[in-house]
Structure 1
């Protein structure tokens, strides 16, 4: 039967600035990542064309894959291989001949023809799979810059690049794993086949030597955690610059870790395949218990493992008694090994398909384990979806991948034999035992790092820099910026060390994030000094990880007992601390910048007098800043008086006063907060204490914002996009103020510090938590600087906690204004299920698996720590910005509920709803989504970029970047 006519390629609109042609090696495991790379380039504004052999093109079109490649042109190259697009693709020998004798001619014609197409622009770059090395000399002849693409691990590249050493020494160099020479990638098939493949590898690596520019690797930066690899390391001094850009997501973007991020990415695409997937297996999975199914697949291009092995494996799977899904090719060399009537005998719990939609299978919550050949694409997909691996490598790079899976990452085990008892034992260990649970923990850690953490950010930066290098090229003949031959002794630029002085507001909730910022700056090469009042300096417990200096406050204090109150601090900030800071800045030469908490606004005029640029630091939500910055508008609209007190009239658009019954909603007439938050004017940040206290605090805020209005840049201790769905959240409070949201994920980039609190934490509570059931404990704390909530409220909360019958941990200050509210002999009465401490190591407490809920005042640090550790919140705001935080928690993020009363029945009901009911489960889902976005997703990448740009701006002394 003759070959079918080639389908017409799908038209792709050509309106992009640069064109890139990508040439994959013609096997499914190479075509898939190349198509993903093409979609990622297209998502960045590049016109991407994937040029593939005709026999691959036919199969992708037949399987519907062209529809999944919208945005990328699929071009067919003549291969000279007789093929009708049905059955299995040609074997290695056939297309190896085609790659040397037919495909180069077709590709050269295509590149030459495109010199005058695409609105007059030639192909800017050719990206060739290193195994498709035949394309490298073609690109050279056409004058097109060429970059390599390696679809497997960097470690595998290192092994193959070491072929000369292997020949010379008989050893494997640079792999750092216990790998046998019998596991080398070219040892496939009989002796003749092995010799043919080895010759292919020699020719491939000889051509690849000409890739002196860059090679893109479909692996994650620092793939060898603990092994010394990094994105910047190259296999040798004469090999290309390595850019690790994987794992490449299906949709081409890098921001698909959450529903919110998907809004900004290309549509999620099914990966084009050369085989038609059997979708019925997904319906079958829907009927299985979560985590119960063993998925079995040996990939698309693995030689048959033999009838006997198939038979043993089939019987071993049957003997486990567990549900399994097996993607087993229909070729006789695979299927003939099955026992007779096997499909019927396992029909109750086993399903066999010819080809499975693997990503959908691994994503499914029923899949608990993946018995795999350890192909690199399968390994990456397992990491992306957090599925443990049972490894049975067959050939090629699979042995190297297996070694990393088992020994380096510890997220799977090797199946050394397919004997029935061995399979049963391994499946039981991985699906049930402590060993399997440890593997799942390791897998989850790796998944966070690779898919949502620093490795993801680095991969995204690498690909962005690659695309930028293409786009900024002015002339077609100009060498691309990233295409510079490797210097055997590259010069390392000396990065200057800028000195930064940080000035916090002297309260624990402001000192902690300022110290975190200082450590993050130090981790980026800055010399960070935190200047604190003497009464804070005396109380700080533990090493802070940066220089801590003391400023004279003029307050008599011995460091014992509670710190000074607001009135004393406010006086010291105006009359004593400025003198001390000015002396410090004048004696320290070369301070590049002062970063002052906006509530420590007294430091701004000091910095100005000393000629030091200043930036602000806002320790809480950006939303709270917007409210405070809107004070003039609140007064003008008649929502508050000139002294900051809420009034019951508000001014209408025609200037008339309208009487309101009760408090006004801030969002009604102001574009400050979303109206659905329903924040009352009675909940404004300065409304603390009696009327005199409120007036004093309001005047403090007026003075603070007056000084802050000259700032051109502020760092905000919140995550980019703190208010998903609030279009105003991204707008700076003024047109001249640059807002850089830099928290909280970047705080973890620096080495952890010891306890930096002004109080000694009671560590015994952690041992107590160790004895409680997972998710059973309610943690209660009202923070470090909250006015007493009253003896009656303390009494009600105490009795309510006792009445719930649930274990609780309460961090309750020892001051009489707090402790006197406890019922008599209360500690003894709840000793069986409750523990009270004066101060808790809160981060460790919230991290503990026993914690199921947090009854909190909604201080911003407490809110962030709850997000970081995925803990639901029961909210009882008291003062300050806590009402704003609470509104976001309950109404915007839906990660908690508000406790409107501390009466016994109300507390019991709320605790039950949040700890047991569907409402609480939905909250947990929401907090998990938010945690993923903030700590591991695009928000983390954006926060890192913001802080990096701030430091870079200081180093370059570019006031446009740092100070407006």
Structure 2
């Protein structure tokens, strides 16, 4: 062990290994954290599954990811792919199987990375793992390395997971996470905290009870392990966004360190690594937006996992055409064939609609032509909408997206729900058009979103708490914040 300690001490830079959960919404904030560490003089080994590593590298072709990005940060960035244990062609959107396979296949490769003495970067001196991958902390702690766990979703969801044992004791949920009795459909994590709607039970949106049970046990087990084994638990949020969670009487306030919104740190260059799985069509998107009137465009993007039935796709497509408003619709690569033929025939005649496979979402939301964001309510998208002051039209798909919708519509009141108005669960064209028009014309929503945007800006300012928690420019080694100090030990 002494030799290993000497090797780590002799390294020219502190060397962080980052391990995100293999989903787009997790990889992106981890890449943003990597940028932050690189800015502070760290070397970074960024570990994706082999499947996602290939996607990230291909998507970044022509950008400064890989050799060019490494050169930009003095060669201190290394991208690595490790096997996830699944076979060729298996469905990696089957999260239950993916979780089981990763826990068996990945530890030996992580052991090798932690013990390797890289010629350029030296040995790993600290580790940041996704809270959903906290089983990896066992290998880290065996080596006595400082470790952080990053929760890339809302602090409210994490607080509920950490409080699940109390919810079981109180008879709110059973041992498998299913609701038992919820008076007025609500519960409290602590008497000092306000009531939470049952929608905060995010694991209950997986489609079938067996999957929900397995996801409940996986999420709670990994969340508890993150708190028990990591030196600090980070969250991609800011205190003013979730004041009930970070208030003085909240049991989670002393456990979770807010460092967000991570997705919007100002980078030294626009060519920093981004971690997208698909290449964004920057030029086409921005050229289209440049030709539209201020605040007129509906931006439509449902993330990397959302699936819609053909009947629902048709209603949405026809609603966008019939609304008369310009729209920019992100339709994931490989799925364009699912768009209704009638829509594709009418699109050229509409003249003010654009369909792309992937968009530079931050740039799109920052564009003055965008008036609203029709979103699946993933946490990254939610934060990006807040950061850029764009009202949100909510159409969640599963898990914590329903929690985020509750925040957006009920607590912050900066968006509207789209809910089915038919017995078959289909949201009709007319309903979509009505919700879109209501949101675009709601000045109150716009004012409230502007206030949230200002709070996000403040959290990232030189006196902002999130920036202080993560690290501000010019800090000396004797004056480091909680996170950086723990990582440099």
8 Å Cα contact 1:148/1:216 also seen in 2: yes
Structure 2 partner of 1:319: 322
Aligned: 1:284 with 2:293: no
Residue 59 of structure 1 aligns to a residue whose secondary structure is helix
In the alignment, which residue of structure 1 is the partner of 2:453? 447
C-alpha distance after superposition, 1:615-663 (max 9, x if no partner): xxxxxxxxxxxxxxxxxxxxxxxxxxxxxxxxxxxxxxxxxxxxxxxxx
3-state SS of paired residue (2:86): coil
Cross-structure match for 2:128 = 127
Output aligned runs, 1:428-827, within 5 Å: 428-432=437-441, 436-452=442-458, 457-464=464-471, 482=486
Instruction: Tell me, in whole angstroms, the C-alpha distance in 2 between the residues paired with 1:327 and 1:213.
Output: 39
Counterparts of 1:214 and 1:437, CA distance in 2 = 40
Contact 1:43 1:266 survives alignment (8 Å):
no
Give me the whole-angstrom Cα distance separating, in 2, the residues matched to 1:233 and 1:48.
Answer: 37
What is the alpha-carbon distance in structure 1 between the residues aligned to residue 78 and residue 121 of structure 2? Answer: 16
State the secondary structure of the residue aligned to 1:346: helix
Larger gyration radius, structure 1 or structure 2:
1
Output aligned runs, 1:251-290, within 5 Å.
254=265, 256=266, 265-267=268-270, 269=272, 271-279=274-282, 280-290=284-294
Residue 140 (structure 1) aligns with: 141
Structure 2: any 5+ residue segments left out of the alignment?
1-9, 173-181, 421-426
Are 1:245 and 2:280 counterparts?
A: no
How much does 1:429 deviate? Answer: 1.5
SS at match of 1:148: strand
Residues 371-386 of structure 1: pairs in structure 2 closer than 5 A: 371-386=374-389
Describe the SS at the equivalent of 1:74. Answer: strand
1:105 is displaced (CA, Å) by 0.8
Which TM-score applies when normalising by structure 2? 0.81
CA offset digits 1:904-956 (Å, max 9, x no partner): xxxxxxxxxxxxxxxxxxxxxxxxxxxxxxxxxxxxxxxxxxxxxxxxxxxxx
Per-residue CA deviation, residues 313-372 of structure 1 (Å, 9 max, x unaligned), is 22222221211111123556x853x43321221332222222222122112221111011
Tell me, yes or no, if the aligned pair for 1:108 and 1:142 is still in contact at 8 Å. Answer: no
- Quote the residue 2:80 is aligned against: 75
Cα RMSD of the aligned pairs, angstroms, is 3.2
Distance 1:90 1:425 in 2: 33
* Partner of residue 26, structure 2: 30
Corresponding residue number in structure 2 for 1:698: none
Equivalent in the alignment of 2:236: 218
CA 1:286–1:113: 2 relative to 1, 3 Å: same
Find the counterpart in structure 2 of residue 403 from structure 1. Answer: 406
Cα gap change, 1:16 to 1:268, in 2 (>3 Å): farther
Is 1:419 matched with 2:428?
yes
What is the CA-CA distance between 1:307 and the residue it aligns to?
A: 2.6
| Change beyond 3 A, Cα 1:455–1:217 | farther
The 1:294–1:100 alpha-carbon spacing in structure 2 relative to 1, beyond 3 Å, is same
The count of residues paired between Structure 1 and Structure 2 equals: 439
Of 37, 46, 53 in structure 2, the residue corresponding to residue 50 of structure 1 is 46
Find 2:299's aligned residue among 286, 291, 295: 295
Shift of 1:214: 1.1
Name the counterpart of 2:114.
Answer: 111
1:216 CA drift (Å): 1.2
Residue 298 of structure 2 aligns to a residue whose secondary structure is: strand
Q: 1:945: which partner in 2?
A: none
- Which residue of 2 is the match for residue 40 of structure 1? 36
TM-score computed with the length of structure 1 as normaliser: 0.42
Contact 1:51 1:76 (C-alpha < 8 Å) held by counterparts:
yes
Helix, strand or coil at the partner of 1:82:
coil
Question: Residues of 2 paired with 1:233 and 1:15: CA distance?
Answer: 43
Counterparts of 1:213 and 1:42, CA distance in 2: 20
Paired with 2:340 and 2:41, the residues of 1 have a C-alpha distance of: 53
- Show CA shifts across 1:430-486 (max 9, x none): 112xxx2111111111111112457772111101289979x669xxxxx99659xxx
Q: Confirm or deny: 8 A CA contact 1:449 1:455 kept in the other structure.
A: no
The equivalent position to 2:206 in structure 1, one of 175, 188, 191, is 188
Q: Check 1:32–1:480 CA distance in 2 against 1; reply closer, same or farther (3 A cut).
A: closer
Structure 1 unaligned blocks of 5 or more: 1-13, 257-261, 474-478, 484-964
* Contact 1:343 1:352 (8 Å CA) reproduced: no
Q: Are 2:49 and 2:81, in contact at CA under 8 Å, matched by a contact in 1?
A: yes
